[in-house]
A = this chain, B = another copy of it.
Amino acid sequence: MADDARRRTVFFVSDGTGITAETLGHSVLARFAGLKLQQVRVPFVTDDAAMREVVARIDAAAVADGVRPVVFATLVNPALTALVAKANALVLDVFSPFIAPLETELQRFAGSDIGGFHAMGDADTYARRIEAINFSLAHDDGQSSTGLSEADVILVGVSRCGKTPTSLYLAMQYGVKAANYPLIPEDFERDALPEALPAFRSKLFGLTILPERLAQVRHERRPNSRYASLDNCRREVQDAERLMQRESIRWLSTTTKSIEEIAATIMTEVKLDRRGF
């Protein structure tokens, strides 16, 4: 097929937050290499007048870019779907391919309660997420060993290997109470885990990282420090991996993984899925 290197605008249009449109759109577009995309989010479009403004923006982008935009739309109201379909764009209705087969399979009609899983409807799940976020914040970086028995998982690893963002993502996305504890030179000298941890061995999960990448991350934080030096990073990573191996702690390397990939792997490895998260 011909190449098309012009900039193109992608719209995520929704009567809710637009997170589903954006998540799906990103995954699908990631399969097309070399696109120059400008992204526009338009959430909470709930009436005809607002949608007419959106259509005008889409049409204006088509003129400005010299090429039709792509629109990912998650709309419950068929009248709004019909309006956006008139835009000068490739309009992809994200819900429609799945609704009819589900109606047949589930033997009931789809209602108009969009985004129920993101809304407050499921109050228990929502409260659990908030509680998990508070727990993970209070138990970040070994701040507190009180209440560790409530943790679903306790991440360990050297400073700056990715424990904090992973803990917060586990809490936010999955409602998992994730504590994290740094492994520091003092632990390696004692050649033992931090004192609070052996009691919770089954909950421990290790993160490691290539020393070269670690040095790079630490240099951004404390340029030219001993802490960030490649020699020191090599030693810490080696010591941490040796300690985790001896203590039979499962671990994974974060070097080439996104937060999402690390978190999804931990969910599977720690069998958290089977506990209903």
Contact = CB atoms under 8 A, between A and B. Distances in A.
A164 B133 contact: yes
Interface residues of A, number: 82
B118 A260 contact: yes
A5 to B, nearest CB: 10
A83 interface: no
A130 interface: yes
How many monomers of this protein are in the complex? 2
A260 B17 contact: yes
Contacts of A95: 27-28, 31
Contacts of A257: 120
Contact of A27 (B29, B33, B74, B268): B74
Which of A76, A102, A267 is the most central at the interface, judged by chain B CB atoms within 10 Å of its CB?
Answer: A102
A264 interface: yes
A27 B108 contact: no
Interface in A97-122: 97-99, 101-103, 105-121
A271 to B, nearest CB: 11
B264 A43 contact: yes
Contact of A19 (B35, B260, B268): B260
B261 A31 contact: no
Contacts of A205: none
Interface of A: 1-4, 8, 16-20, 23-24, 26-35, 40-41, 43-44, 68, 70, 74, 76, 90, 92, 94-95, 97-99, 101-103, 105-121, 126, 129-130, 133-134, 137, 140, 164-165, 168-169, 172-173, 256-261, 263-265, 267-268, 273
8 contacts: A17-B260, A19-B264, A28-B102, A30-B114, A31-B114, A130-B259, A133-B165, A165-B172
Q: Which 7 A-B pairs have the closest CB atoms?
A: A30-B116, A26-B117, A97-B97, A17-B264, A31-B110, A20-B27, A90-B105
